[in-house]
A and B are shown apart, each in its own frame.
Chain A
């Protein structure tokens, strides 16, 4: 603050104005912004401790890591962990499941939430819109643990609602928790249930930003409601949809751990369709003790995930620089 009121910066002896060394300039900038740097310090230190240091830990993918020996004492084994990962079917299975399920989620979420947003947009009374939005947004705030309870109440073999209905109709009950073939759509429905409210609010906001004059002009030309939706609302929504889909594709290598681990109750019989990279890494770390393969899978996820996030943001930046991360 003092610096601002000073008419002339004080020059160190022996230096002419305009010929300051880089070091002096930096020192001055640092001193001038000392308070701000202090304000940023807690978050900066936190990020270093909790985000940057673990990045260096990625090297354990090339070690035979042992908790008792630590990162500096464990033996280096080169690509052995990766060779193991490729030699089993796990590597392919979890990659396929992650990409396939996330792909399915992106498509279903986008289609369903745009549909809901259009319906919301066509309602005249804003108060009712808000009521619908609130009910649909509600599942977003329910933890996967509770969602798991709902799913279990529907699907368990004894008292499950669905099996009871099946028996009542004379059909055979299904052992849901040992039939992997059903879980692609069960998880899709669970994911949709939880996130359709969120995404429909996003797209509804996009629609509200469209200028009413366009609709007025269309009405003068005699376009009816659905024609207006088809020729004005949807085309003008396309950039927002493209950006959101691109950002989701950037995250396609990261699965929602709660959905795939908790909702499936970590049933081994379901792994064929439900084991994703995140659940595999977690099991290796905490349950089966295969740290080597877990860290190899984690390394693979970090590298490929980085490339995808980087590429998607790079494309998004070309469309709308404000929405890109860099």
Chain B
């Protein structure tokens, strides 16, 4: 599908030549990462510099004060990290397993209920009850309010990813699976020993999307979590960023004026850092996932 086309000469000439294209693309790329550079820079700046001169690309004076301040009493942040890590690990692991199991079943051409089951899954993409009934059912029916499971369960099965995984699994050589079946391998064995090992890169792609979905989530916490001890990182950051009092109310602030701007930015860096690192390491999987999803 993807071919390098360096073999044929496809030259951009004149005013809109290749150099010019590079300038435009580099500018757009810079715009995409610039806010992050500003944030990192601000987090290492002096509070008064920001108040006086505003944000700068390179800090006027280098200080780790904001980080010291945040990490002096690290309880709140460490707990949020713990919650986020827990929901990310459990949620993406469990979700990936459940989704690949059902995707495998509906990818088998000889499964007699594949049409009905596919419809059952994908109908939820066409129609849903919306926020209010969903919220009422989860709080009144399933009693998930202020439970860590409220941050995990609602995202376990994403029909889009089931669709994607089904496409991947259906492209595996079905004769191979049939042969294994005739040789006496059970369905579980075929799934774990043949299907999963053959689809590692697709599983990695979906798995990484799940990791990011859980890591970046504030929505479920906003709805279901009132207990600050159960707050994931992004929601804690949201409260701190939109409400200075959330910071001042913490015991760390006693006896001194909190450095509002730099601390907010340091908080943003701490919350994004791990996700940004993961992205840098594995972005080719994401790009490949989108590429395959685009054409299916």
Contacts and interface: CB of A to CB of B under 8 A. Distances in A.
Interface of A: 1, 4, 29, 33, 35-37, 39-40, 42-44, 46-47, 49-58, 60, 65, 67, 70-71, 116, 119-120, 122-124, 126, 128, 130-139, 141-146, 148-150, 152-153, 158-161, 164, 193, 196-198, 201-206, 208-209, 212, 215-216, 219, 224-226, 228, 240, 257-258, 262, 265, 278, 281-282, 284-286, 291, 294-295, 298-299, 301-302, 306, 309-310, 313, 322-323, 325-326
A46 B156 contact: yes
Given A136-B32, A281-B132, A43 B10 contact: no
| B: interface residue count bin | 35 or more
A326 B118 CA distance: 9
Nearest to A211: B3
Contact of A145 (B9, B136, B234, B279): B234
Given A122-B21, A198-B290, A291-B132, A159 B104 contact: no
Contacts of B133: 54-58, 60, 295, 298
Interface string B112-142: 1100010111101111111111111110111
A30 B136 CA distance: 35
A176 B49 CA distance: 23
Interface string B4-43: 1111111111001010011011101111110110110010
Q: Which 5 A-B pairs have the closest CB atoms?
A: A57-B133, A54-B129, A298-B130, A135-B29, A43-B102
Nearest to B154: A50
Nearest to A198: B290
B206 interface: no
Contact of B54 (A40, A51, A60, A159): A159
B32 A36 contact: no
A29 to B, nearest CB: 5
A231 to B, nearest CB: 14
Contacts of B141: 53
A35 B101 CA distance: 11
Given A136-B32, A150-B38, 7 more contacts: A4-B182, A54-B137, A122-B21, A136-B28, A138-B36, A295-B133, A309-B125
B98 A42 contact: yes
Q: Is the interface of B mostly helix, strand, loop or mixed?
A: helix
Nearest to A51: B124
8 contacts: A43-B101, A47-B157, A138-B32, A145-B238, A148-B241, A212-B5, A226-B16, A298-B131
A37 B13 CA distance: 60
A40 to B, nearest CB: 4
Given A57-B136, A145-B218, A285-B135, A50 B54 contact: no
A288 to B, nearest CB: 13
Interface stretch (B60-68, B69-77, B185-193): B185-193
Contacts of B124: 47, 51-52
B55 interface: yes
Interface stretch (B85-93, B245-253, B267-275): B267-275
Contacts of B122: 325-326
A35 B186 contact: yes
B283 A206 contact: no
A180 to B, nearest CB: 19
Contacts of B256: none
